């Protein structure tokens, strides 16, 4: 035998769940990576300030990428990549394809590392199958700033997540009453 709840009790649950849904939409960035839960930066002044600073550094990273590409005479994103490497953090990678281009241009078998080796302002970090990883002093400084700000952002966000989870827990428990 199925016992149906009175209509007013169901409506009460629906209203509480709608408020819960609104809270989720106002606190979680639903447009972010689906594998991560990210709070909206607008939720907190400190979080928003940190997000703005991270965005500013991203603009500076892109500018350094363009500057280095122009200086080395290589095409961005096809030959010269700006990557956030797990070991080297933000760094550049010149692909192996560059050596073939330089061979045609210069008539010599210049490896991609040769573009930066012994060149003032460029520091080679590693040579791998995918190309040569290197950095500049400006990129290293930006990378460190980004890393520090990102740690602060994550710390601030973790604190806020605890608060949001507590509030969400109260919403769920009140909807069960």
Residue 107 has pLDDT above 80, yes or no: no
Joined together, the tokens standing for residue 160 give: 């806020």
Residue 43 has pLDDT above 70, yes or no: yes
pTM: 0.73
- For 35: left if phi > 0, alpha if psi spans -120 to 50, otherwise beta; the answer is alpha
At residue 172, the pLDDT reads: 58
At residue 108, the pLDDT reads: 44
Q: What is the pLDDT of residues 132-152, one digit of tens each?
A: 899 999 999 999 999 999 999
Query: What span, in angstroms and rounded, lies between the C-alpha atoms of 96 and 74?
Result: 12
At residue 48, the pLDDT reads: 94
Scan for tokens 């961005």, then name that residue: 76
Query: What span, in angstroms and rounded, lies between the C-alpha atoms of 39 and 36?
Result: 10
**175 vs 84, higher pLDDT:** 84
**Mean pLDDT of all residues belonging to the chain:** 79
At residue 69, the pLDDT reads: 92
At residue 9, the pLDDT reads: 55
Which CATH architecture describes the domain 37-172?
Orthogonal Bundle (1.10)
Is the CB of residue 117 less than 8 Å from the CB of residue 127? no
Joined together, the tokens standing for residue 51 give: 């997000």
At residue 78, the pLDDT reads: 83
Residue 109 has pLDDT above 90, yes or no: no
Q: Is 77 helix (H, G, I), strand (E, B) or coil?
A: coil
Domain boundaries, the chain: 37-172
The stretch 28-35 carries a mean pLDDT of: 70
Is the CB of residue 39 less than 8 Å from the CB of residue 29? yes
Provide the residue count of the chain. 177
Q: What is the pLDDT of residues 74-98, one digit of tens each?
A: 888 788 999 999 999 999 998 876 5
At residue 98, the pLDDT reads: 55
The stretch 8-26 carries a mean pLDDT of: 69
């Amino acid at each position: 035998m199925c016992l149906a709840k009175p209509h007013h009790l169901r409506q009460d649950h629906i209203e509480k769940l709608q408020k819960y849904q609104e809270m989720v939409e106002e606190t979680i960035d639903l447009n972010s990576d689906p594998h991560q839960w990210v709070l909206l930066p607008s939720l907190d002044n400190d979080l928003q300030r940190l997000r703005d600073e991270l965005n500013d550094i991203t603009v500076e990273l892109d500018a350094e990428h363009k500057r280095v590409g122009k200086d080395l005479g290589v095409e961005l994103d096809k030959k010269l990549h700006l990557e956030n490497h797990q070991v080297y953090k933000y760094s550049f990678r010149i692909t192996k394809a560059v050596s073939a281009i330089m061979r045609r241009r210069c008539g010599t078998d210049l490896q991609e590392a040769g573009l930066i080796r012994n060149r003032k302002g460029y520091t080679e970090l590693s040579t791998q199958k995918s190309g040569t990883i290197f950095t500049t002093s400006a990129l290293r400084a930006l990378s460190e700033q980004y890393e520090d700000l990102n740690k602060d952002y994550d710390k601030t966000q973790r604190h806020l997540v605890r608060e949001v989870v507590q509030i969400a827990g109260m919403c769920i428990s009140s909807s069960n009453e």
